Chains A and B, each alone.
Chain A
Amino acid sequence: MSELKCIHGKADCFYEHYERKGEAQHQTHYCPGCGHGIAHKLLAESIDELGIRDRVILVSPVGCSVFLYYYFDVGNVQVAHGRAPAVATALKRAHPEAIVISYQGDGDLAAIGSAEILHAANRGENYTSIFINNAIYGMTGGQMAPTTLMGNRTTTTPFGRNVFNDGYPLHVSEVIATLEAPTYVERAALGNTKQILQAKKAIKKALETQMKGLGFSMVEILSPCPTIWKMDPVDAQKHVREGLAAVYPLGAKRDRTKEAEPRPAHIPAPALEELPRILKLDKGSDAAMPAHHETVDFRVKVAGFGGQGVLLLGQLLAEAGMDYGLEVSWLPSYGPEMRSGTSNCHVRLSNKPVDSPFVSSPNVLIALNEPSLRKFISTVEPGGLVFYNGTAIPADCVRADLRMHPIPFFAVADELGSTKVGNIVVLGALLSATGVLPLEVVDHALPRVVKAEKWIEIDRQALRRGASLLCPEVPVHV
């Protein structure tokens, strides 16, 4: 006596009713014969069989399969076109215990999202990518995808895909398999029942790869789109088998599932309290700073050649000002060249919040060369201060309404042993002329800005030498 038992039916993983579809709640929204439906079934069965339904987060794409979340009774996130790998990365890193599965079409993954998939795979993110390659943009009505076969007529290749205009069909799995990190990459197809069953095996294996923590896994699935291909479903299935599979060979492109070691779930972030030490922000900031009361409105423009330490001078001034309890900003502005281009920066120190870091009419101009002086002299506010690296202000740059100090700062620095500290000599002069900050405040800020120990001592000397240039009673040595 025997009993008939249901051995294949709707997977538990599917909702019983699909809410979106008004009356047809028992049908998917796919066209008759569409491969998406088959791929859904394979994925749903695999999830059921592995017993991971409560842990799955599915990431659905933009494309015909955008409504994935109406079918799968699992966690769901619907994302912008092509961005599934980035979102899957975030989900998996934030929830290492979740099984994260992205589902993407070929327009989504191989065109607009090509950068995302490449980098997620290259990082070996421990999630599973299901990639439905139907060699076309289905949802938008049949535009060429990077995967479209040569010669195919689509709405965007009306004369057929042409190598010179459109390039070659993109072999995504093979490209991914050139990367070091991916653990498992297989191309499967939905061209007949044998291929379909093989596709299911591949999906399961990919999910197991993730469950074991072995890293990135992807299954590319060659899939029929009878509607856009303008074929009846049986012919479309045959075209998968004979047309697509001839261009895109099936099989594993990467399988390191045996030898791969489990990845750490995530790299733990350092404790918040540790950050200042790690980023070397703690140096020097322990000393108690003298309190500050005056009204300050320092709008400084520092300009010179790249390599003269223009940016560092501004940064040091801003850092020290911040330590001193002032509101500060520092805005560097420079060309692409590291050396010998021009460079300038804007610094503001104020006892009120800084409204804009941009300094268009400075009350302090530091011009480390003649072109900079010429360029900015007319912008200085009446009554402002000018420091010029030279022995005399060129006659046509002299302004009676400014306090102008021509000093050969870099020659002074040379006497101290290195022209490199010329910028610090300038800073010393600026501080002594204005009294905006005590020199010791700069001493404390120095190690944060100047990382190399060997410069710090000579910088401190340079600061005092600079201060002495306008105010001789300050000692040159510490």
Chain B
Amino acid sequence: MPACAIEEAIDIKGYVEIDPEECKGCGLCVAACVQKVLSLSPQLNRYGYHPATNEEKPCNGCGLCFYACPEPGAIRVFKAID
């Protein structure tokens, strides 16, 4: 796993980061997220896809969206570690 710990402590369980330029807007992550945190952005990315976004909302960091996504690095999932 890449070492990408976020330094600042935030009082949330989890968070995802989506790279809008790697995302192809397939929507599989949106369908996979039980918490309904994700949606497809009305914006188009450079390649003409509506990338997925969490609108910077935190979530539980369950990782379901990561495994649904076909792109190797489009989604990164962070989880709060005590």
Asked if A4 contacts B6 (CB within 8 A), the reply is yes
Query: Could you give, for residues 1-34 of chain A, a 1 whenever the CB lies within 8 Å of some chain B CB and a 0 otherwise?
Result: 1111111111110100000000010111011111
Asked if A38 contacts B67 (CB within 8 A), the reply is yes
* Chain A 250-277 interface residues, beta-carbon cutoff 8 Å to B: none
Asked if B27 contacts A8 (CB within 8 A), the reply is no
Residues of B contacting A: mostly: loop
**Assembly CA distance A40 to B70 (angstroms):** 8
**Assembly CA distance A82 to B78 (angstroms):** 41
| A-chain residues with CB within 8 Å of residue B78 when the two chains form the complex | 4-7
| A-chain residues with CB within 8 Å of residue B70 when the two chains form the complex | 28, 30, 32-38, 41
**Assembly CA distance A233 to B70 (angstroms):** 11
| A-chain residues with CB within 8 Å of residue B76 when the two chains form the complex | 6, 8-10
* Chain A 147-198 interface residues, beta-carbon cutoff 8 Å to B: 192-193, 196-197
**Assembly CA distance A1 to B22 (angstroms):** 33
Complex: chain B residue closest to A11, CB-CB: B72
| A-chain residues with CB within 8 Å of residue B3 when the two chains form the complex | 6
Asked if A4 contacts B79 (CB within 8 A), the reply is yes
Asked if A7 contacts B67 (CB within 8 A), the reply is no
Query: Could you give, for residues 12-27 of chain B, a 1 whenever the CB lies within 8 Å of some chain A CB and a 0 otherwise?
Result: 1011000101101111
**Assembly CA distance A382 to B46 (angstroms):** 87
The count of chain A contact residues (Cβ–Cβ below 8 Å) is 42
**Assembly CA distance A9 to B71 (angstroms):** 10
Chain A CB within 8 A of B42 CB: no
Residues of A contacting B: mostly: mixed
Asked if B28 contacts A6 (CB within 8 A), the reply is no
Q: Which residues of A contact B (CB under 8 A)?
A: 1-12, 14, 24, 26-28, 30-38, 40-42, 44, 48, 71, 192-193, 196-197, 200, 226, 232-234, 237
Interface centre among B6, B75, B78 (most CB of A within 10 A): B78
Pick the residue among A5, A12, A44 that contacts B81 (CB under 8 A): A5
A selection of 29 A-B contacts at a CB cut-off of 8 Å is A1-B82, A2-B10, A3-B5, A3-B6, A4-B81, A5-B6, A5-B80, A6-B1, A6-B6, A6-B76, A7-B77, A8-B1, A8-B66, A8-B75, A8-B76, A10-B72, A10-B76, A12-B2, A24-B47, A26-B19, A27-B24, A28-B70, A33-B28, A35-B70, A38-B67, A40-B72, A44-B72, A71-B72, A234-B31
**Assembly CA distance A432 to B24 (angstroms):** 87
Asked if A2 contacts B24 (CB within 8 A), the reply is no
| B-chain residues with CB within 8 Å of residue A26 when the two chains form the complex | 19, 21-22, 73
Asked if B80 contacts A4 (CB within 8 A), the reply is yes
Asked if A32 contacts B2 (CB within 8 A), the reply is no
**Assembly CA distance A33 to B66 (angstroms):** 13
Pick the residue among A37, A193, A234 that contacts B71 (CB under 8 A): A37
Query: Which 6 A-B pairs have CB atoms at the shortest separation, nearest pair first?
Result: A37-B70, A10-B73, A33-B26, A32-B24, A32-B26, A6-B4
Asked if B2 contacts A28 (CB within 8 A), the reply is no
